[in-house]
Structure 1
Amino acid sequence: MENELRFAKKISFKPLLGSIFFGIAVSVVVISIFPNEPLMSILCGIVGFLIDSMLIYPWSLKHFYGGWTITTKGIYYVDDGTWNKKVRLIYLPFLQQDKFIPLSEIQSFSIIDGVNLMNSHNIIGGTLKQPINRSERLLIVETRQGQVTLNLSWNYKGETVTDKKVNQILAILKSSSR
């Protein structure tokens, strides 16, 4: 694709491998505590694997993954809108298919900086707590089908997105609205 900008990492086998190793670690800890109960060790390892791969990773998937690309033709992103889609991405990352939004179908867009996000858990309001190493930046795209939120905090290499890249995105999106 010509003139493309890529952001956030695409999901790989790392979450699945992490869950497998977590299950093995749980199994080793249980067998070291209860050496006469190998079946309990295996069951605890399987439960640890399932909890990690079906609850913890899908819940935190958007913070670590969610690769998307913008070109002069449109936006390609991985749809992880439901829990089932997130679990499928963890178990079968090689089957992920990018959804496409043509620039002509974008009705509106906004870029939100983490400093300006309001904390709805506090009755008084206030800004969200900043992450340690980078501020959260989101691109929110409105289409006829609904709203798509894309993480704009880092590029596909894990580096912080510069203002120059944000301006390039704005130029692409504004050129489509003409």
Structure 2
Amino acid sequence: MKMKRSFARKPSLKPLFNSLIFGAAIGTFSFIILQRNFLWGAITGVLAFLIQSTLVYPRSLPTLYNSWSVTEKDIYYYDYSTWAKRLKAIFLPLAKKQNTVSFDDIDFYSLVVNKDKSGNKIIPHYIILRLNNGHNVILDLSWNLSKSGAPEKDVEWAVDFITNKLGQKSVKIFQV
């Protein structure tokens, strides 16, 4: 049986759908405010849609939809390293395929943590994989920590599993 654990949310049509609703709402509001001028309502609606879908969502996409999974041999992740890749994920989320990195291609990894609001507890935020070719892959952990149940167990498992697979004696921890 093949082991596979998944983390965070997968890309979906939700950002595109939300952008359409936002554009329609702004267009309707402009239509009403501008004395029922259809042309200006349509223009402001389209502009609002374009701003939301091409500027606002791409900026937050790696945090909102940074799904990744791990198996015995590989780590699968979505690459959002360029703006064009982020736009493709918004407009064609079902066509976006995950990239694969083998544990053999990983030089080392680091863990980035935050302190909670009280400053008492350190919370894992994301994992940075440093590949043999010099590139970095960022794997988000924060989404799993926000779900109910015992999310710390998922994060703890991921950190332990990757550490064991790479044979790392210790993990570099960075605090933001």
Q: TM tier, shorter chain? A: 0.7 to 0.9
Given the alignment of the two structures, is residue 88 of structure 1 paired with residue 57 of structure 2, yes or no? no
Q: Structure 1's 81 and 65: CA in aligned 2 closer, same or farther, altered over 3 A?
A: same
**Whole-angstrom distance in 1 between the partners of 2:101 and 2:62:** 19
Q: CA contact under 8 A between 1:105 and 1:144: conserved in structure 2?
A: yes
Q: Pick from 136, 147, 159 the counterpart of residue 170 of structure 1.
A: 159
Q: Tell me the SS of whatever aligns to 2:2.
A: coil
Which aligned runs of 4 or more in structure 1 are off by greater than 4 angstroms? Answer: 156-161
Q: Distance in 2 between matches of 1:162 and 1:98?
A: 23
1:22 is matched with which residue? Answer: 22
Question: Relative to 1, partners in 2 of residues 1:155 and 1:163: Cα closer, same or farther, differing over 3 Å?
Answer: closer
Question: Which residue pairs with 1:124 in the alignment?
Answer: none
Q: CA deviation at 1:167?
A: 3.3
Aligned to 2:129: 141
Percent identity for Structure 1 against Structure 2 = 31
Counterparts of 1:33 and 1:41, CA distance in 2: 9
Answer whether contact 1:74 1:103 (CA < 8 A) is retained.
yes
State the structure with bigger RCO (CA 8 A, min sep 6), 1 or 2: 1
Instruction: Count matched residues.
Output: 163
Equivalent-residue separation in structure 2 for 1:157 and 1:5 (angstroms): 17
Q: Name the TM-score, length of structure 2 as normaliser.
A: 0.83
Counterpart for residue 97 of structure 1: 97
1:114 aligns to what SS in structure 2?
A: strand
- 1: CA distance, partners of 2:85 / 2:19: 17
1:153 aligned partner, one-letter code: S
Q: Structure 1 residue 67: deviation in Å? A: 0.4
